[in-house]
């Protein structure tokens, strides 16, 4: 809870006007404990564990008072150790990794961004060729198995919650969502053909790209397309397939001319706000 009295309350002695870091009583207690421990060690009554405790206690006192009671050394106060939050994401257990710069100037993040853009450009080329080849674009009809309210065959005029296969039409495409970071992005915005004129819509992922042997193609973050490495592109087969997921089954009922499937200008360059958004949320 917030302190509504306008005065800082110490978490160690519960006095007001200072915090635990500057508490004089806590400092005095540490100094007394250290003196007793140091005397015991000097008289031969301390163990190796006591010596370790004394070292740590001396450093605590040095941080509070500026002077190490064991060595008499004056502690030079330094500013906070700034460390790049992106490098902490990359190397979370290496305390020195990323020291001396911020995300804004981080060379590692800039290189990862460059590689992601280049990889996305390669992936988008393959995805576009497949979309144009099979005709999955605006105007295409996709049969989807989905949950919703449907006419109740037992009660004419009423609806019932069920999971059925319905025909949907692709109304628009979220082109920027296609990146190597999300090869299964839901890029197609569809609408049930019996709900035209309403605000209802569904989202459909990219379809699988598969080779002549039926192997689903994958993409790595550097844009390498293969059947063995990386994340699988898409989530559904354009045509019938014996291994398809019956619960989320999708089928292309009617495609469109590939010539009508045209991405925005500069899309094939790989640039995307989705890449920047992904890198931005990567924090150690």
- Packing angle between helix 273-280 and helix 107-134, nearest 10 degrees? 140
For 15, phi and psi rounded to 5 degrees? -80, 165
User: 127-146, pLDDT tens digit by residue?
Assistant: 999 999 999 999 999 988 88
Question: Across the chain, what does the average pLDDT equal?
Answer: 84
C-alpha–C-alpha distance, residues 101 and 83, integer Å: 6
Would you say residue 189 has pLDDT above 70?
yes
Would you say residue 223 has pLDDT above 90?
no
The structural domains of the chain, with segments of one domain joined by +, span: 11-77, 121-263
Share of the chain above pLDDT 90, in %: 24
User: 36-93, pLDDT tens digit by residue?
Assistant: 888 888 887 777 778 888 888 888 888 888 888 888 888 766 555 677 888 877 666 5
Q: 157-161, 210-214, 267-271: which range is least confident on average?
A: 210-214
Parallel, antiparallel, or unpaired: how do β-strands 159-173 and 202-205 relate? unpaired
Would you say residue 269 has pLDDT above 90?
yes
Residue 4: pLDDT band by 50, 70, 90 thresholds?
A: very low
Residue 243, pLDDT score: 61
Residue 137, pLDDT score: 93
Residue 195, pLDDT score: 81
Q: What would the mean pLDDT of 110-119 be, rounded to a whole number? A: 90
For the chain, the residue count is 284
CA dihedral 278, 134, 194, 188 (to 10 degrees): 10
- Packing angle between helix 24-42 and helix 48-65, nearest 10 degrees? 150
Q: 38-52, 58-72, 160-174, 222-236: which range is least confident on average?
A: 38-52
C-alpha–C-alpha distance, residues 39 and 34, integer Å: 8
C-alpha–C-alpha distance, residues 43 and 36, integer Å: 11
Place of tokens 């500069």: 266
User: 273-282, pLDDT tens digit by residue?
Assistant: 999 999 888 8
CB atoms within 10 A of CB 95: 11
Residue 170 CB burial class (10 angstroms; 0-12, 13-18, ≥19) = buried
Place of tokens 């981080």: 106
Q: 120-124, 136-140, 249-253: which range is least confident on average?
A: 249-253
Residue 260, pLDDT score: 94
């Amino acid at each position: 809870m917030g302190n509504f009295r306008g005065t800082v309350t110490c978490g160690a002695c519960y006095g007001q006007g200072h915090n635990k870091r500057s508490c004089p009583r806590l400092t005095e207690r540490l100094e007394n404990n250290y003196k007793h421990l140091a005397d015991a060690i000097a008289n031969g009554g301390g163990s190796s564990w006591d010596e370790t405790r004394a070292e740590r206690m001396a450093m605590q006192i040095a941080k509070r008072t500026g002077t190490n009671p064991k060595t008499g050394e004056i502690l030079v106060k330094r500013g906070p150790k700034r460390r790049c939050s992106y490098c902490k994401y990359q190397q979370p257990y290496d305390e020195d990794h990323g020291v001396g710069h911020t995300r804004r100037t981080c060379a590692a993040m800039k290189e990862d961004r460059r590689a992601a853009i280049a990889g996305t450009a390669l992936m988008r080329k393959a995805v576009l060729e497949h979309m144009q080849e099979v005709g999955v674009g605006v105007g295409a009809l996709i049969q989807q198995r989905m949950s919703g309210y449907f006419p109740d065959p037992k009660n004419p005029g009423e609806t019932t919650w069920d999971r059925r296969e319905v025909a949907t039409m692709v109304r628009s495409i979220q082109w920027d969502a296609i990146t190597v970071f999300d090869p299964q992005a839901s890029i197609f915005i569809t609408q049930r053909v019996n709900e035209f004129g309403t605000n209802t819509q569904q989202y459909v992922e990219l379809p699988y790209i598969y080779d002549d042997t039926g192997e689903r193609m994958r993409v790595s973050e550097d844009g390498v397309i293969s059947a063995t490495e990386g994340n699988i592109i898409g989530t559904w087969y354009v045509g019938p397939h014996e291994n398809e997921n019956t619960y989320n089954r999708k089928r292309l009922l009617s495609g469109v001319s590939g010539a009508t499937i045209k991405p925005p200008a500069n899309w094939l360059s790989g640039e995307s706000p989705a890449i920047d958004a992904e890198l931005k949320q990567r924090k150690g």
